[in-house]
Amino acid sequence: MKIRLRVTTDGEPYEVTTVFPNVIEWERKFKRQVSDLARGIGYEDMAFFAWAASKTAGITVPAVFDDFVKRVRDIEVLDDEPTNPTQEEHSTMG
């Protein structure tokens, strides 16, 4: 599962994408399964994914998650694909 996020902290906004180990780290910390996210994703979930993905991407973030949270101004989930893509209509003209 990959989640692409735009993170705004004290500095310039940046984008990160979660990788498999980030999701495992989240499951271990919060004692939840990734399937729980089907009901919705909370701010703490987004912040944790942003923190973990930032570390993985080599972006300098505080070592302690709560210190990272204090610096966050906004996190946005980015989605390139429409939620309900429409099927292409076929022309009946010959």
Q: pLDDT tens-digit profile of 11-42? A: 889 999 999 999 999 999 999 999 999 998 89
- Is the separation of the CB atoms in 33 and 27 below 8 Å? yes
pLDDT at position 93 over 80: no
Q: What is the pLDDT of residue 94?
A: 52
Query: Which of 40-58 are b and which e, b meaning 16 or more Cβ less than 10 Å from the residue's Cβ?
Result: eeeeebbbbbbbbbbbeee
**Per-residue confidence band for 85, with pLDDT thresholds at 50, 70 and 90:** very low
| For the chain, domain boundaries | 4-78
Comparing 72 with 80, the larger pLDDT belongs to 72
Q: Alpha-carbon distance 28 to 51, whole Å? A: 15
**Per-residue pLDDT tens over the stretch 57-75:** 999 999 999 999 999 999 9
- What pLDDT, on the 0 to 100 scale, is given for residue 56? 97
Edge-first strand listing for the sheet containing 74-78: 14-17, 4-8, 74-78
In this prediction, residue 80 has a pLDDT band, given cuts at 50, 70 and 90, of: low
* Residue 30 and residue 51 in contact, taking contact as beta carbons nearer than 8 Å: no
Task: Note the pTM of the prediction, 2 decimals.
Answer: 0.81
Residues sharing a CB contact under 8 Å with residue 39, sequence separation 6 or more, in sequence order: none
